[in-house]
Structure 1
Amino acid sequence: MTDTTRTDPANRQTAAWGAVLSMSLCVALLLASEFMPVSLLTPMADGLGASEGATGQAISISGLFALVASLLITTVAGQINRKSVLIALTMLMLASLVIVAMAPSFAALITGRAILGICIGGFWALATAIMMRLVPPQDVPRALSIMYGGQAIASAFAAPLGAWLGDVFGWRAVFWALTPLVAVNLVWQLSVLPSLPARRRQNFGTLIDVLARPYFRRGLIAAMLSWGSAFTMFTYLRPFLEQFNGADATTLSLLLLVLGLAGFIGTWAAGRFVGQQIAPLLKLPALIMGAITLALLFTGSSTVMTAALLAGWGGMNTALSVIFMTWMSRNVGDAPEAGGSLMVAAIQGSILLGALIGGLLLDSFSITATFVGSVALAALAVILIGNGQRLLKPVKLTQTLRRWN
């Protein structure tokens, strides 16, 4: 096993907070790159001579490549220093933005989005394991909340800012505007990330071994149901607000901004209040977001009530990531990269599946059916999780792993 004592900040019980902040910026830029095109769909389709439907599929292809990359990254990276892997992924993100900004054709757009998907899947698969090495164990929830603060930033500002810049300067300028920010992040990572040698060789056998643990499988299914519920609702939030609330463009932007800004509170609260007892928290995201989704069906005509409910939903949505990734770090601590790969693959798959289920319900029935479907998935998650104890590593296994380490 590689000796990482001299290069791993967590082994010295010190925290590399500069590296944590650089990871947070990387999260913000990744999510902005991933979801910015949603607000630029029409001008991108016009500029490339493609239909909006085809352009939308090209945009979503990043999710498919993210799913595949999340499962392959730890095996493909092998014994490569994890700092080098992160730097390579950031360079790929920069390349993908340049390709999309210069895209002369629909095929070039697909290529750029596929490369971005590799970045997304690879980064998220390694992120939690790296956080566990950048800070002492007791600071992991706080570090995760800081990293997911980048998610809140992107959620709050990417879509409205992208729409405005695209209207004023053109959609290509939006992607060009992201490139210097990614370049700065690349330089920052080079300077603040410590050397992170691979701790042990990863292979598909490691993934299978982790997946064979009953408590982890239950947690993985619970995470899939929770994220599937969230994205069944979130993907189709705009048509809901337009139909139930009669929201115009200005009201819609403000409501989405409220939802995004609430994410900052969610990440802060999760980092502050996630303690040693993680089990009781696991069902909270599905329980609260499911209840809010159901409540929106009865109060959606009131803008004030809708804003209040969306604030609660947005805060819990970002807390969801911190809670489940903290659970993963504590219960698959002997194989965090394998656990992270499986978690990211499950989340990406559930996002795609949630959007598919929501779309089918919307097209076949109504937006009400879509939201009811979201509530049903949340209810299944709550039932599966229960008090959370069956998602925790058995005490005997914990003691065995401690002796082994």
Structure 2
Amino acid sequence: MAAVTTMNEGRPAAAWGAVLSMALCVAMLIASEFMPVSLLTPMAAGLNATEGQTGQATSVSGLFAIAASILVTTVAGRLDRKWVLVAMTALMLLSLVLVAASPNFAMLMLGRALLGICIGGFWALATAVLMRLVPAADMPRALALMYGGQAIAAAFAAPIGSYFGGLLGWRAVFWMLVPIVAVNLAWHLISLPALPARGRQDFRGMIGLLARPHFRRGLVAAMLSWGSAFTMFTYLRPFLEQVTGADVAVLSMLLLLLGCAGFAGTWASGRFFTGSIAPWLRLPALVMAGCTLGLLLLGSSVVAAGMFLAIWGATNTAMSVIWMTWMSRTVDDEPEAAGSLMVAAIQASILLGAVLGGILLDTLSIAATFAGSVALAAVAVLLIGGGRSLLKPN
């Protein structure tokens, strides 16, 4: 592959080794953040908590991710972005050790809070860093490759977590992630080039972005889309156990199917989203809500549940590429500020989705949780419309 150089830095822009290193980091972030989904029941039993309370292990990481995503570009100041990403990965390593060794619920929450800082910091910088590693024409491909790490984690983390959680206990599952993250940390050190900060970032850039109507509307639409997804996904295991009647073996197979379908979504998103992004923006909320509604109506059948989960999984991975491509094209003049706001919005929606879903589950039923997911998606689709109002004015 011919080297493409940037005008400002004079070095190869298509640094695919560094992109692959970031893809592995994404896989570990997703596996670490959402592992409680596949281990929700045993973790709740082991910590003497309800499933709704244990689901907040996801929301607490989201809470700290929101703060970190907003603050990282300003706190990091003029620090080389390579070393910021290295620090975030080291923090993920520490978080996993704390969670795996946690003697009580409070220590678990501390570990999850540290993970949230890592999530927010990494994701706030990820797209801006990719824009410096590859030329603009390769951004959809680079995003698809990085989010391929999400598909890998979705495909294997949940079923492996469910299987080994039943075999060895939920703590052993978190210990299994520790050496992989350590290898990823070393890979960052080797593959990431120097990425000096491009001027000092402050909150004025974020405020300026929020003053742009198209970006503000897109941010709210993205929040609703992710909020819908994680109101359902955080409490998927209780649904499959209570409604579908899945035991550990069937549960693991269904989660594996969901994750493997994510590869199809990643493959498609890297190839099809090269033209106008507007028509694609409402697709994730529309399709995923349809799948959630299908589960509500036909989820007692293992075959039907598997079909809807496969479609949901493929669309879920495509959603990240769609919205981050929108961001990179719509606010290419302020990528770090936009990344901070996008990550804060997404993590806020994950937090609120987990909280809303947990409340509905504990006070009403798992069906109410899934119905809440469908309602949020419907609002997102109405807000997005044809997608043109979310694009940068000519």
TM-score, length-scaled by structure 2 = 0.91
Match of 1:210, as an amino acid? L
After TM superposition, list the pairs within 5 Å mapping 1:2-401 onto structure 2. Answer: 5-6=8-9, 9-10=12-13, 15-40=14-39, 51=49, 56-58=55-57, 60-395=59-394
Distance in 2 of aligned mates of 1:84 and 1:293:
41
Distance in 1 of aligned mates of 2:371 and 2:50:
28
The answer for the alignment partner of 1:400 in structure 2 is: none
Contact preservation (8 Å) 2:59, 2:352 = no
Distance in 2 of aligned mates of 1:201 and 1:141:
27
When residues 167 and 291 of structure 1 are mapped into structure 2, their CA distance, relative to the original with a 3 A threshold, is closer
Q: CA deviation at 1:130?
A: 0.8
Distance in 1 of aligned mates of 2:337 and 2:191:
25
Distance in 1 of aligned mates of 2:126 and 2:61:
18
CA displacement, residues 355-395 of structure 1 (integer Å, 9 cap, x when unaligned): 22233333444333332322221121111111111000111
Q: CA deviation at 1:298?
A: 2.6
Question: What RMSD over aligned residues (CA atoms) do the two structures have, in Å?
Answer: 2.3
Residue identity (%): 69
When residues 334 and 88 of structure 1 are mapped into structure 2, their CA distance, relative to the original with a 3 A threshold, is same
Distance in 2 of aligned mates of 1:242 and 1:76:
44
The answer for the alignment partner of 1:398 in structure 2 is: none
Contact preservation (8 Å) 1:4, 1:199 = no
Match of 1:205, as an amino acid? R
Contact preservation (8 Å) 1:7, 1:195 = no
Distance in 2 of aligned mates of 1:254 and 1:201:
48
When residues 276 and 9 of structure 1 are mapped into structure 2, their CA distance, relative to the original with a 3 A threshold, is farther
Match of 2:84, as an amino acid? V
Q: CA deviation at 1:151?
A: 1.0
When residues 7 and 28 of structure 1 are mapped into structure 2, their CA distance, relative to the original with a 3 A threshold, is farther
When residues 50 and 303 of structure 1 are mapped into structure 2, their CA distance, relative to the original with a 3 A threshold, is closer
Distance in 2 of aligned mates of 1:280 and 1:180:
42
Can you give the 5+ residue segments of structure 1 that lack an aligned partner in the other structure?
Answer: 396-405
When residues 392 and 363 of structure 1 are mapped into structure 2, their CA distance, relative to the original with a 3 A threshold, is same
When residues 170 and 7 of structure 1 are mapped into structure 2, their CA distance, relative to the original with a 3 A threshold, is farther
User: Which shows bigger deviation, 359-368 or 191-200?
Assistant: 359-368
Distance in 2 of aligned mates of 1:290 and 1:42:
25
**What SS does the aligned partner of 1:186 have?**
helix
Distance in 1 of aligned mates of 2:353 and 2:204:
29
Can you give the 5+ residue segments of structure 2 that lack an aligned partner in the other structure?
Answer: 1-5
CA displacement, residues 105-158 of structure 1 (integer Å, 9 cap, x when unaligned): 554433322211110110011111111111111111111111111111112222
Match of 2:254, as an amino acid? L
Match of 1:159, as an amino acid? A
When residues 290 and 92 of structure 1 are mapped into structure 2, their CA distance, relative to the original with a 3 A threshold, is same
Match of 1:235, as an amino acid? T
Count of residue pairs brought into register by the alignment: 388
Contact preservation (8 Å) 1:265, 1:315 = yes
CA displacement, residues 241-296 of structure 1 (integer Å, 9 cap, x when unaligned): 33433333322221121111101110110111011310111011111111222222
Q: CA deviation at 1:46?
A: 6.8
Contact preservation (8 Å) 1:7, 1:196 = no
User: Which shows bigger deviation, 306-315 or 152-161?
Assistant: 152-161
TM-score, length-scaled by structure 1 = 0.89
Distance in 2 of aligned mates of 1:84 and 1:160:
33
Contact preservation (8 Å) 2:37, 2:234 = no
Distance in 2 of aligned mates of 1:58 and 1:160:
19
Contact preservation (8 Å) 2:55, 2:358 = no
**What SS does the aligned partner of 2:69 have?**
helix
Distance in 1 of aligned mates of 2:100 and 2:303:
39
User: Which shows bigger deviation, 289-298 or 192-201?
Assistant: 289-298
Match of 2:31, as an amino acid? A
Contact preservation (8 Å) 2:72, 2:124 = yes
The answer for the alignment partner of 1:401 in structure 2 is: none
Contact preservation (8 Å) 2:97, 2:175 = yes
